Amino acid sequence: MVDVVIGTVTNYDYDKIEPWVVSLKRSGFDGKIALVVYNMKKDTVDRLVADGVALFGFQKDDEGNFTYPSDNNFSIMVERFAHIWYFLSKADEEIEHIISTDVKDVIFQKNPSDFFSAFDRKEIFVGCENFKYKDEPWGKNNLIQSFGPMLYEKLKDNPIYCAGVIAGKKQAILDLFLNVFLLCRGAPAHVPGGGGPDQAALNILLSLDSYKSITNFCSMEHDFVCHAGTTTHAIKSGKGVIGEEYLRDPSSLYRFNDVMLGKDPIYADDTVYNSYNTPYYIVHQYDRVSEWKDILDRKYRN
């Protein structure tokens, strides 16, 4: 039985992927590293293959470049869920856990396989963005634009769980991903205000009893994952809708701090810690924090 870390990329060169691969290898992870690849140049393909990364894709041209898709309406945010389900359902290896992450803004500080040992009874693991839907402007708009005001009313008092890092037991993850994809088929592929409907679909599904009973909902104070894009660090860097509001009116920070669900992460010695001074296994959206971005980006390169 092996664990698989998998991401999805299109139009990325090796420079954008390197910290994801290097940090994962340095963590001691000894499972399979895989990418679902859409458009990618052959030189990047060759470097990833040399790194031992398994590449799943649909078509190549005569020069060895991945060349799918050409449709301008293609949404990687949505299609990735179907294609991860498709490829890993057909995988020859016996897979125990799947760790699905974004790529260009994710690093691994500890071996993600080690995380699961204390949670044998749970099948799915997600991380909180540290706000409820009603208190986070981007998430609120994304849910309303994707699935309408009735579902927003149902979820407005729920914490937002990020679609950028999801992990768990193979079959539970594959079933969840297929359901996310199918639910998104009834929503716009590109949501006004940014992003796609995938995160809203994920949170709708996780609000159902059948998923709540098998999911570990990790707060920002847990060491599973730091979603940095909605932390005070990112807000002060002017990132996201909240960060833009902060730049216009710095006093708005107090209003958002009052409704945060947990304590901010701590940054020290080139490492991101939770409020208990425990390093996170995974750090997502580190590039949205000015004081972290360049240092962590340099740290995880060969």
Please name each of the domains of the chain with its CATH number: 2-299 (3.90.550.10)
| Average pLDDT across the chain, whole number | 95
Tell me: the pLDDT tens digits for 33-51? 999 999 999 999 999 999 9
Average of per-residue pLDDT across 58-71: 89
What is the pLDDT, as a whole number, of residue 159?
98
- The total number of residues shown for the chain amounts to 302
| Residue 6 confidence (pLDDT) above 70 | yes
DSSP 140-193: HHHHHHHH-HHHHHHHTTSEEEEEEEEEEEHHHHHHHHHHHHHHHTTS-SS-TT
What is the pLDDT, as a whole number, of residue 50?
97
| Residue 70 confidence (pLDDT) above 80 | no
Average of per-residue pLDDT across 274-283: 97
Is the bond leading into 69 cis (omega within 30 degrees of zero)? yes
What is the pLDDT, as a whole number, of residue 121?
72
Question: Alpha-carbon distance 110 to 223, whole Å?
Answer: 10
Output 116 or 233, whichever has higher pLDDT: 233
| Closest-CA residue to 97 (of 6, 183, 20, 164) | 6
What is the pLDDT, as a whole number, of residue 189?
87
Percentage of the chain exceeding pLDDT 90: 92
For residue 23, the SS3 value is: helix
Confidence of residue 118 (pLDDT cuts 50, 70, 90): confident
What is the pLDDT, as a whole number, of residue 120?
63
Tell me: the pLDDT tens digits for 90-115? 988 899 999 999 999 999 999 999 99
| Residue 133 confidence (pLDDT) above 90 | yes
Q: Determine contact, residues 287/226, Cβ cutoff 8 Å.
A: no
What is the pLDDT, as a whole number, of residue 71?
72
Tell me: the pLDDT tens digits for 252-262? 999 999 999 99
| Residue 69 confidence (pLDDT) above 90 | no
The kind and range of the H/E element at 90 are: none
| Residue 78 confidence (pLDDT) above 90 | yes
| Residue 32 confidence (pLDDT) above 80 | yes
User: Which residues are registered as beta bridge partners of 273?
Assistant: 266, 279
Quick one: tokens of 299?
């740290």
Percentage of the chain exceeding pLDDT 70: 99
Entry pTM: 0.96
What is the pLDDT, as a whole number, of residue 122?
85
Residue 247, amino acid:
L
Burial zone of 6 (CB within 10 Å; 0-12 exposed, 13-18 middle, 19+ buried): buried
